[in-house]
Structure formats: C-alpha cells, structure tokens
Amino acid sequence: MKKVLIANRGEIAVRIIRACHDLGLQTVAVYSEADTDALHVHHADEAVCIGEAPSIKSYLKISNIISACEITGADAVHPGYGFLSENANFASICESCGLSFIGPSPQAIALLGDKSRAKAIARSVRCPVIPGSEGVVRDIESGLKEAHKYGFPIFIKAVAGGGGKGIRIAYSEEDFTKKFVAARAEAEVNFNNPDVYLEKMIVNPRHIEVQIMGDKSGHYIYLGERDCTIQRRRQKLIEEAPSPCVGESLRKKMGQAAVEIAKAAKYHSVGTVEFLLDESGHFYFMEVNTRIQVEHTVTEELTGIDLVQWQIRMARGEKLPIRQKDVILNGHVIELRINAEDPHNQFAPSPGYLEHYVPPGGPHVRVDSACYGGYRIPPNYDSMIAKLIVRGRTRAEAIAHAKRALNDFHIHGVHTTIPFHQFMLQDTRFLTNEYSISYIDQLITDGCTFDQSQTADPSKTDRN
Amino acid sequence: MDLDQVKEIMGIVEASKVKKLHLKKGDFELQIEKADEHLPAAALPPIYHPPRAAVAEIPETMFHSEHTSKGGKRAVETAIDGKFVISPMVGTYYSSPAPDQPSFVKVGDKIDENTVVCIVEAMKVMNEVKANVSGTVAEVLVESAHPVEFGTKIFRIV
C-alpha cells in the first residue's frame, strides 16, 4: 500500500490523512466544489475535485472517486464514516478495480448492514437480542400479531436504515396501523428499500457500544465499551468511556458477545457492536456499525491504541500486535460534539463564516476538527465543528477538565453546542448518571433551552 | 566498495530527495545524479494542489490564497476571459477519438452546445463530452492524455 485516497471530508478525512502520514503513506483528498478551502484538501499530498456540492454529485459519486484513484495512482481507499463507508457495492467495486478497501469485506458489510440478518447472527452466537420480528414484516396483519407477542410500545425500523434514521414508534394498535404504512413509504424514499422490521422498545435504556478489532488472520479483541446515552433525536452528543453503568463482569460479557458476532460474520477491520442496557442490567444486541465511528477517539484516548492507524495496518494484512489480556482501560474519557447548531433554538443548524476559532489545548485535551479561523462552514454537509475529547483519572476529573476546555474554546461567527455541553456538565442527572436515552429529548419537550441559568430540576423531569 | 554496496547507495538516493551525490573513497569514486522527475502537474494548469501554508499560522492567507498569490497565477486569472468547456467528470482527457485520428475540435472552430469536443476516459469507458456552450474555440487548456478533475477548464470559448 503506497497511496491512500480518502473518500470523505471534514474531520474524519483529516484524521485519516494524519494516520496515513504517520505510516509514511501518500494521501489523495477528494473534494466537492463547496470544499475547495477545506482542511483535508490542504493536508493531503494531492487533491482531486470530484463534483458539485451536493453529496450525491461528489462524495457519493462512485465513478468519480474511482477515476480519481486511477489518475493519481492511489492503490487504497479509506471510506471514513457515513457516505460510502457502509456501501457493500462500493467496497466490491474497489476490490474489482484492484484497490484495497480499508474496511471489512463487501460480504461482511452486506451481512451486518442488513439489520435483520445481523440480528440473526447475534442470535446464532447466543447473544441476547431485543425481542422483535425475526425478519421483515410485510403487512399490517402480521405486524399486529408480532406486536401482541411482546407488547407496545414498538419500534418500526427500516431494514436498510442507519444513523438513527428510518425509525417510527407505535404506542397502540391504531397508532401502529398508521405508522406502519408511513414507515414503509419513508424507507422507500430514503433507503430505496421499503422493508421494515419490528422491535420491542426497551424502556429507559442506555446506549452501550463495544469497539472491536479483527485482523485478516482471525484474531479479535474488544476495546471496552462507550456509553453514548446522551442523544438528541438519536444523534449522539456526548460519549464517554468506560460506561458508569458497566462493571468488569458485564464488560467482559458484552465484549465477548461483540467479538463472537464479528467472528461469525467473518468481519475483519475495526467495527462497533451496539447494545441497549436496560434498567436491570441486561444487555440486548441492537446493530453493528461496519466502519470507523465518529467517537472512535474516546476509545483511542482510553486505551492508547491508534484505531485508524491499526485499521490501515490490518487492511494491508498486518496482524494485531496485542491480545485481549493486553488491553488496558486507563482512566475516564469524555467526548463532546461541538456542532454548528443553536441549542437555545431547537438546535437549528448554523452554517457560516468562522470569524474566530481558537480551540483549547494543554494536558488531558484533544480536539479533532477540520475547522480554522476564516473557514466558511458549508451548508451542504453535517454540522460538526469539532470533537472535544478530554481525559481524567476519574469521571469527576474528566468533567473538570471538560469544563476548563469548553471555557477555553472560542468560536465566533456561528452558533455552537458549547452552551449545551456547559449546561450538561453541571446538570444533576448527568453528574449522578441518572438518565436514559430519552433524557435530552424529554428535557427539550419540557421546555429546556440549555441556558446555564436555567438548571434542570430533577424533581420536575420524569426519569423517562 | 562492492556492487551490493553501490546498489544500496543508489537505492537510498533514489528514495530520498537528494539529486546529486559524489562519493570518493581511496581510488574509488562514485557519482550519482538523478534525472529531473517529470511531474505531469508541472506541465498543466494546476490540478493537484501544491502544499499550502500551515493553517494555524495564517488563516487569512488561506482564505484569500487565490487572490494574494503573486505573479503568474493572478495575472493569468484576470487575463482569462470568456466561457469554458469544463470537465463533467474525473478521468483522462483525450482530444481525438483515437490516436491516429484528428482532434474533435481545434482553435478557431465554431461549436454549439451539442458539439462533441473531446473524450474523458474513466475506468476504461470513453465518455464523449459535449460542449454545453456555443461560440468559437479560442484556446485548448489541457494536453491530450492528461488527467482532469471535475470542473477542470478544458477549452476557452469566445
């Protein structure tokens, strides 16, 4: 492997370019017309414009990306996250063009990317799964039969969905009848596949995901879990590791379950197995993310293992240099996603010109970002400005470091979610770990606009 | 010094940025000079972006880099006038349908939106490119068999 083309943009493209350069590999950036001044374009050794601003004309345009490999002589492609990273067809095309796809095989992507097939794999290795339909539910009648088996509320989920999209909740039979049809229509439009499956809605769960790595020689390790329970409309805002709700024995059980699932799917590369943890400490398989994730940084800081670098190394056939017993989880790490959104105004997107951008630094602080002072955040893509990752010996210490880092993060020109994080870091429920996956949505429903003067009163907000 | 050692030195010079090496040891003398590397980008309007200034130091320069670079580039940009046929895809530009055939168009030719002006080859598929503008070909900006990216200006049309 000599030259890697990064089929992505933004902070993850910057991250991947850094890992490639750490390994002495050449890099090629691709960019749309909206990204001519993007940081990843400046960091890469070469850059190729691949299309107009809309993703479908650029970052999703497989032919232009493959051609860019051709004209630059790139011999490997890293797909990042989102875009084409979980597109088995793209992975397959790369292979047939003699390009090394830095990720799992097209077959593993297709298998685990199909939510109901992934669930079947989990069942086959005796991993607990969320009660739900064993496959696609084709009509309202069979759907209602299923629903009665495990009771409402019920999720109606698109088989080809992802990133928290394509999900509806039905609270009753009548509700189900309406939402079933709507869910199928939405799935068809968004994912080209109307198929849906049903899943019991676990009440007040925590979102716990396990990072795994597997090399091409069949060695696997898990790198502990990440707790991503603080979400707004299924978009993660805060991630931390270790999870305050997971003890040693549960960590081992979940880690082993995750590895067994990866093995059964013949999955190599890095990946994440997502679980829900209910109030009584039972875990249930949810889905597998067959790519590097946004919050991989949390595990990197906790374990000291460079996941992106190792993802590249394993793609070129290197074996994992460590075994499970060598994995050490050191201290506590918290990641805060700083997005160009206004938390005081329903998180309305706020693209625009960064008049002022000064990230924090010093010990215990890491910032992964593609922004800089003078950069204009384009409106065509996600709203991420930066990932702020802090560490400490304990959760309390990490929180103290996070408060300092947030205060030092000076961004002017756009609205940011910094005030949201400052609010959360002194929110009683967050500090005492008494929240579940619907906490933020519930706060918003109750009228919270995340002003620090307006601290949430635990007695007013129901646990769910 | 034996042949293996000489080969080793040649390998090291090859892989490094060293252009010339003169080694003398006793009555053994070795001179190595690298031929200038022909980089396609040097012969073309820039497709591959040259390394930019470090971001953190001069953010303003980066934001306005296109407008503050001195000399040739800026002068060329203000001098260039007219419409352009731009590449609709990434690939390799060919000026004629086949190596032994004449170019699709040459300077002075009158074209309209539907005139096929060149081929851009991508993944072994020869894609005919229509002008999408009309006028007279004033300048050919890319050499045949050279790579183009999306948006690369291929012809200047007046």
Is residue A356 located within the same domain as residue A429? yes
Is residue A171 located within the same domain as residue A287? no
CB environment A8-25: b (16+ within 10 A), e (fewer): bbbbbbbbbbbbbeeeeb
Give the pLDDT of residue A454.
61
Q: Look at B31-45, B87-101, B133-147 and tell me which has the smallest mean pLDDT.
A: B31-45
Is residue B31 located within the same domain as residue B62? no
Nearest 5°: CA angle at A182, between A181 and A187? 100
Is A460 among the domain residues? no
Is A61 among the domain residues? yes
B11: contact with A, CB 8 A cutoff:
no
Is residue A187 located within the same domain as residue A246? no
Domain of A178 in residue numbering reads as 131-200
Is B45 among the domain residues? no
Domain stop point among A87, A102, A117: A102
CA distance A344 to A354: 19
Domain of B93 in residue numbering reads as 54-157
**Phi, psi (degrees; rounded to nearest 5) at A68:** -65, -35
Per the structure, the count of domains in chain A is 3
Is A457 among the domain residues? no
B152: contact with A, CB 8 A cutoff:
yes
CATH of the domain at A85: 3.40.50.20
- Taking an 8 Å Cβ-Cβ cutoff, which residues of chain A contact chain B? 33, 37, 39, 41-42, 45-52, 58, 63-68, 70-72, 97, 372-376
Residue B78 has pLDDT above 80, yes or no: no
pLDDT tens column, A244-256: 999 999 999 999 9
Is B16 among the domain residues? yes
Q: What is the CA radius of gyration of chain A?
A: 22
Is B95 among the domain residues? yes
Is residue B75 located within the same domain as residue B153? yes
Is residue B101 located within the same domain as residue B142? yes
Nearest CB partner across the interface for A71, out of B63, B91, B151: B91
CATH of the domain at B87: 2.40.50.100
CA distances from A22 to A17, A18, A27, A312 (A): 9, 6, 11, 11
Percentage of residues in chain A having pLDDT higher than 70: 97
Catalytic residues of A: 291
CA distances from B68 to A143, B62, B65, B72 (A): 64, 9, 5, 11
Is B26 among the domain residues? yes
Is residue B65 located within the same domain as residue B123? yes
Q: Which tokens hold the place of A305? A: 């293992």
Is A192 among the domain residues? yes
Is residue B9 located within the same domain as residue B62? no
Q: Which tokens hold the place of A416? A: 């940011």
CATH of the domain at A374: 3.30.470.20
CA distances from A188 to A157, A159, A277 (A): 12, 10, 30
* Yes or no, beta carbons of B122 and A64 under 8 Å apart: yes
Give the pLDDT of residue B44.
36
Per-residue confidence band for B46, with pLDDT thresholds at 50, 70 and 90: very low
CA distance A180 to A135: 15
CA distance A431 to A410: 25
Is residue A246 located within the same domain as residue A176? no
CA distance A320 to A313: 9
The ipTM, to two decimals, is: 0.78
- DSSP string of A263-332? HHTT--EEEEEEEEE-TTS-EEEEEEE-S--TTHHHHHHHH---HHHHHHHHHTTPPPS--GGG----SE
Per the structure, the count of domains in chain B is 2
Is residue B34 located within the same domain as residue B58? no
Closest CA to A88 of A290, A268, A227: A290
Residue A180: count other Cβ atoms within 10 Å of its Cβ. Answer: 22
B16: contact with A, CB 8 A cutoff:
no
Distance from CA of A388 to the nearest CA of B (A): 18
Q: H or E segment at B72?
A: helix B72-79
Query: pLDDT averaged over consecutive 10-residue blocks of chain A (464 residues)?
Result: 98 98 98 98 98 96 97 98 97 97 98 91 95 88 89 88 81 92 89 90 94 97 98 96 97 98 97 95 95 98 98 97 96 98 94 96 98 96 97 98 98 97 98 96 95 62 44
Is residue A194 located within the same domain as residue A241? no
Q: From the candidates B37, B49, B68, which should be mutated to test the interface with A, based on the most A CB atoms within 10 A?
A: B49
Is residue A244 located within the same domain as residue A148? no
Is residue A175 located within the same domain as residue A213? no
Per-residue confidence band for B29, with pLDDT thresholds at 50, 70 and 90: confident
